[in-house]
Amino acid sequence: MPLGAFSKHLTKLHRLHDLLTRILNRSGGTFMFRGPWFANMDMLITTDPLDIHHVLNKNFSNYPKGPKFRKIFDILGDGIFNVDGHLWEIQRKTTMSLFRQPNFQSVFEAIVWNKVERGLLPVLESICKPGKEMDLQDIFQRFTFDTICTLLLAFDPKSLSLDFPFLPYEKSLSDIEESILYRHFTPPIFWKLQQLLRMGNEKKLSEAFNAFDHFVCKCLARIQHESCSIDTESEHGREHFGLASLIREFKHQSGSSGDPNKFLKETIMNLIGAGRDTTSTTLSWFFYLITKNPIVEDKIREEIQTFLQVKVKDQKNWNSKELGKLVYLHGALCEALRLYPPVPFNHKTPLQPDILPSGHHVNQNTKIMLYFYGMGRMKTIWGEDCMEFKPERWISKEGGIKHEASNKFSAFNSGPRTCIGKDMSFTQLKIVASTIIYHYHIELVEGHPVCPSASIVLQMKHGLKVRLTKLSEVNI
């Protein structure tokens, strides 16, 4: 592809996904972008499931994060999303052991429901008035930030409150993710110069990181002090089991910096970023699709009434087992993830020259973009109706949930680096989605533009402006 035809779009990165999807459809799902000879920016962009499987599974050892990835994502330090080898294995094993603790699921569900009852529903009730608009994306980002901080840091920032407080450290995550995207499509010499001169996107990145870093450091200092006297069997200890467990497991780890505190901080920052953004982004696109497909909204509500009505009448919360009965809701969430994966691409570089199943040759200077967003829009993968929002796509003939191979449905990545928080994400998604749909009818504000932002996470550029109406007030 000619450099000029591609580079002219870099000033309008929010249109990047539409551009790439059109090109990929015309080129059979894979194309090679040739960057300037001096910039070392050759990039193979692929949606081919066989290529995805090859890179993330079959030849995994040849495709680590690598030094190029670490340079672009240097802000993540030695966090789980930025490291390879022994450090990655330790972090993944430790995080998985935390998620598998006997009381983890019940603690997590209690945290989510507490935020629903004391945060989400009061906020929705306060702004659910005729003609009143609200930004659901902002609400979801605040919700998930509060829940992940409560889980990991035993601290609720209460960003989702009736007064909608401005918390720089909560908003800083979006600024960080937007700035990192520009690094993918800018010659390193340019963004490194901006970094040196503290200007442009690099200045915004630095300021955002400092705000988030200060917040995490403050929370770590408090909990490390308290952990000295915590009895993990006590009620107080259970409140702190998230970070207390990580502190205990990582006490002999210092990462590449040799600083144990820095290593722990970077681990926590990675987990908080993932916990806030992937789930809030999925909820935003899910409800956008619901506003465009009211029949789907009605079917989900009918399913809730069928399987959870007794719980509602008894004013009891439903748990993950009961949420598992909501097959149609699960299918609708999978459709949202297929069309709008929260992490739209994965960036890889081979250690050794390789030939992908699609026939493309790659070497150590070739960046490979595994383009998950484009995969959901390929007719060759999902059929002629790939652009339609069809929860039925995920329901088997027997009425259960239909599973797809991870190299076809890669919203949670694939292979050894498959997302370890998948089940936790679905639990939170189902609790929030079922609660809102049971109580409210959602309408998109007429004329409100909805498009992806220029970010490594598929957030909405202008938010999601909607109006909610209580079901008791809807004319049926």
Measured distance CA(30)–CA(219) in Å, rounded:
45
Encoding tokens for residue 166?
């401005």
**Residue 219 annotated as binding?**
no
> Which is it for strands 345-348 and 465-470: parallel, antiparallel or unpaired?
unpaired
Other C-beta atoms closer than 10 Å to the C-beta of 94 total 17
Measured distance CA(39)–CA(25) in Å, rounded:
27
Give 110's contacts (C-beta < 8 A, 6+ positions apart): none
Encoding tokens for residue 158?
């209460």
Mutual angle of helices 136-153 and 200-227, in 10-degree steps: 40
Give 270's contacts (C-beta < 8 A, 6+ positions apart): 76, 79, 80, 81, 82
Encoding tokens for residue 462?
């202008």
**Strand, coil or helix: 395:** strand
Other C-beta atoms closer than 10 Å to the C-beta of 258 total 8
Whether residue 113 contacts residue 317, with contact meaning beta carbons closer than 8 Å, is answered with yes
Binding residues, as ranges, are 419
Binding-site residues for heme sit at 419
